[in-house]
């Protein structure tokens, strides 16, 4: 109740207000008694008490009441005592009373402001305390009730499921789970030392369920008493989220570690390796996390020239695929690189490297097999073409043989008669004029040419079985040259080492082949030139000619060459040289080289030809010693 209520007669009368009224009446009565009797006693100082009480409790209104009371006292003095001295004393007393009332009022106002500020602060504290989303508990820190809960907020009540009264009757150990209660004494000791505590504990709700808390606690001093304020946050949701993340992380790690291919993550700017899967650890025989990728994976001292970091940083949304042979690991790898986000938000390099070494080896083996197959197919094709050519060749020879046999039988007899007739005419007309003799010689030469053509046809159609005997190269070549008609304008040179061993062949057949080659050489040099016939011993020369008997390449051979300095053979004619009936001569029938080849092959050899442009032609007969 305030003064206004008292004046208006409303409200209740507090005890300090009744004290003001009682002391006021008493002091006025004593003062009037003293004035009326002329006595001045200490009792009249009771007038101070209502002033002090009024100013203390009613502040400005109390001060006004005190001033009113003082003037009432002064008026009373003036009424009951006309004595100037008494009035002067009364005036002094009133001034002192008013001064005391003013000081008291000022002090009371300051006290009231302080009380209001404290009350407002307490209201804010209480509001914060009660409205805080986290649980707040205040505990006794010392004495026999150490750990007793002395205050809790609404969040603590909701969090633990107890009423406020139930919590205030408990100790913190009643809320701690067994695993958390054991560490409480040590935590209180640390708090008493002034340390601020933080960590995780487990509390038990009223229904018995356990839940995790994140605590922050520290020491509070209220006067001489020490308390611990503990702010707790329920982290059940966070723990569940962490458990879910950990589960998903373990699932991901399990998945990555189950892959036998290399997976690693590195910083594309510092090259630091941040993660590798188990397959990488097994392959590298160590855990390279923390090392530099180019050092751990490539064994280099600086970043690789072929590093794809710039490529994938320039196109973060797309993977980059490439293949690479790692010489350090001796592996062929099929690689997929891309940029992903690391948990701290930075861009990192993710690489998946599939080991394709076996596939590459299989591809190389398949490629080699394909090449070999192609070679064999080509070789077989060549063999088939050679066999076909040989078959065509034999068919042609068969046709030629049939024709030659028929022509030979039909023409040799008339040619023999004509030859005898020429001989008879030369005998019976010895004195014939020059023109008759010339025509008879022409007839005789044409008969010889016709018989030579018939012989060539028969030789080309059938090659006899060789009758081999050992003969020296010098004797064989000399025998062949002696039977050839070589013009004087052609220079003949032979090159035959004396140490050259003899060879086992049919001398007549090989000599005929050499004579045919010499005849061709002479015809290739109508204006003269150099004819060289040479022999030498060689080993593993040339290539086998399809259709010819296989000869071991490590065997020793004799090479007989017939070289001329006439016109070279054109490339298009080189392939046709040994075909039947192919000739570039005006009077030839194209069987001479065919006969040469047949004779040489019959003796186990082969014939080859070289004709460099502008350097003449060399025919080589290659015969095995064994």
pLDDT band of 548, cuts 50, 70, 90: very low
Proportion of the chain in helix, strand, coil states, percent, rounded to 5: 50, 20, 25
Q: How many residues in the chain?
A: 626
Tokens representing 186 are 């040590």
Q: Where in the chain is the domain with CATH 1.10.287?
A: 369-462
User: Cα dist. 332→139, 301, 319, 323, 356 in Å?
Assistant: 68, 22, 19, 7, 5
**Helix, strand or coil for residue 267?**
coil
Tokens representing 494 are 């032979």
CA dihedral 27, 32, 37, 41 (to 10 degrees): 20
Architecture of domain 259-355: 2-Layer Sandwich (3.30)
Q: How far apart are CA 262 and CA 278, in angstroms?
A: 8
Q: How far apart are CA 389 and CA 394, in angstroms?
A: 8
Say which residues have a Cβ less than 8 Å from residue 250's Cβ, sequence separation at least 6: none
pLDDT band of 599, cuts 50, 70, 90: confident
Residues 126 and 152: beta-carbon distance below 8 Å: no
Mean pLDDT of 234-262: 90
Tokens representing 221 are 């001093």
**Helix, strand or coil for residue 159?**
helix
Q: Where in the chain is the domain with CATH 3.30.450.20?
A: 133-239, 259-355
Say what the pLDDT of residue 534 is.
93
Going by C-alpha positions, the residue among 619, 356, 344, 622 that lies closest to residue 473 is: 622
pLDDT band of 58, cuts 50, 70, 90: low
State the fold for domain 466-624.
Heat Shock Protein 90 (3.30.565)
Average pLDDT, the chain: 79
The 3-state secondary structure of 283-305 reads HHCCCCCCCEHHHHHHCCCCCCC
Examine the pLDDT at 184 and tell me if it is beyond 80.
no
* 133-239: CATH, from 3.30.43.10, 3.40.50.2300, 3.60.20.40, 3.30.450.20: 3.30.450.20
Examine the pLDDT at 412 and tell me if it is beyond 60.
yes
Mean pLDDT of 13-18: 53
State the fold for domain 369-462.
Helix Hairpins (1.10.287)
Say which residues have a Cβ less than 8 Å from residue 225's Cβ, sequence separation at least 6: 140, 142
pLDDT band of 546, cuts 50, 70, 90: very low
Q: How far apart are CA 210 and CA 565, in angstroms?
A: 114
Backbone CA torsion sign across 232, 233, 236, 241: negative
Q: For residues 72-109, b (16+ Cβ closer than 10 Å) or e, as one string?
A: ebbeebeeebeeeebeeebeebbeebbebbeebbeebe
Say what the pLDDT of residue 9 is.
37
Element at 398 (helix H, strand E): helix 357-428
């Amino acid at each position: 109740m305030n003064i206004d209520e008292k004046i208006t007669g409303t409200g209740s009368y507090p005890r300090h207000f009744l004290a003001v009224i009682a002391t006021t009446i008493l002091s006025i009565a004593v003062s009037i008694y003293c004035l009326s009797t002329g006595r001045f006693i200490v009792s009249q100082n009771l007038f101070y008490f209502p002033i002090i009480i009024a100013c203390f409790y009613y502040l400005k209104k109390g001060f006004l009441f005190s001033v009113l009371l003082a003037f009432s006292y002064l008026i009373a003095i003036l009424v009951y005592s006309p004595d100037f001295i008494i009035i002067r004393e009364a005036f002094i007393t009133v001034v002192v009373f008013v001064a005391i009332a003013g000081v008291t009022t000022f002090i009371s106002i300051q006290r009231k402001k302080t009380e209001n500020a404290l009350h407002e602060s307490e209201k804010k504290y209480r509001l914060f305390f009660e409205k805080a989303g986290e649980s707040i508990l205040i505990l006794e820190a010392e004495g026999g009730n150490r750990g007793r809960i002395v205050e809790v907020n609404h969040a603590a009540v909701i969090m633990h499921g107890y009423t406020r009264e139930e919590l205030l009757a408990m100790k913190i150990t009643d809320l701690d789970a067994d695993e958390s209660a054991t560490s409480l004494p040590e935590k209180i000791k640390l708090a008493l030392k002034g340390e601020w505590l933080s960590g995780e504990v487990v509390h038990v709700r009223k229904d018995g369920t356990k839940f995790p808390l994140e605590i922050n606690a520290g020491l509070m001093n209220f006067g001489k008493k020490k308390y611990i304020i503990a702010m707790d946050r329920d982290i059940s949701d966070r723990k569940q989220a962490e458990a879910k993340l950990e589960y998903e992380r373990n699932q991901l790690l399990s998945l990555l570690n189950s892959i036998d291919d290399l997976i690693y993550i590195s910083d594309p700017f510092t090259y630091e390796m941040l993660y590798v899967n188990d397959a990488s650890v097994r392959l590298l025989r160590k855990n390279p996390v923390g090392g530099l990728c180019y050092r751990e994976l490539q064994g280099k001292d600086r970043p690789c020239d072929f590093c794809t970091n710039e490529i994938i940083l320039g196109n973060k949304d797309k993977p980059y695929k490439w293949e690479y042979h790692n010489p350090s690991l001796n592996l062929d790898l099929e690689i997929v690189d891309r940029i992903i986000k690391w948990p701290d938000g930075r861009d990192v390099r993710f690489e998946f490297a599939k080991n394709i070494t076996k596939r590459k080896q299989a591809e190389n083996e398949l490629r080699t097999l394909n090449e070999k197959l192609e070679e064999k197919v080509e070789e077989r094709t060549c063999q088939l073409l050679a066999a076909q050519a040989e078959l065509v060749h034999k068919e042609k020879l068969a046709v030629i043989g049939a024709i030659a046999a028929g022509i030979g039988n039909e023409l040799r007899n008339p040619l023999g008669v004509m030859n005898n007739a020429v001989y008879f005419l030369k005998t019976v007309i010895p004195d014939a004029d020059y023109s008759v003799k010339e025509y008879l010689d022409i007839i005789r030469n044409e008969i010889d040419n016709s018989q030579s053509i018939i012989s060539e046809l028969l030789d080309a159609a059938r090659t006899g079985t060789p009758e081999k005997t050992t003969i020296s190269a010098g004797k064989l070549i000399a025998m062949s040259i002696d039977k050839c008609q070589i013009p004087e304008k052609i220079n003949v040179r032979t090159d035959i080492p004396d140490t050259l061993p003899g060879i086992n062949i049919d001398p007549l057949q090989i000599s005929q082949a050499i004579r045919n080659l010499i005849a061709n050489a002479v015809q290739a040099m109508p204006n003269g030139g150099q004819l060289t016939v040479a022999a030498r011993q060689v080993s593993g020369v040339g290539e086998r000619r399809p259709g010819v008997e296989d000869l071991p390449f490590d065997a020793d051979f004799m090479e007989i060459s017939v070289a001329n300095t006439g016109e070279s053979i054109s490339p298009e004619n080189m392939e046709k040289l040994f075909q039947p009936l192919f000739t570039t001569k005006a009077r030839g029938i194209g069987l001479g080289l065919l006969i040469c080849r047949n004779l040489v092959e019959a003796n186990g050899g082969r014939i080859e030809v070289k004709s460099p442009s502008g350097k003449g032609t060399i025919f080589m007969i290659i015969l095995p010693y064994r």
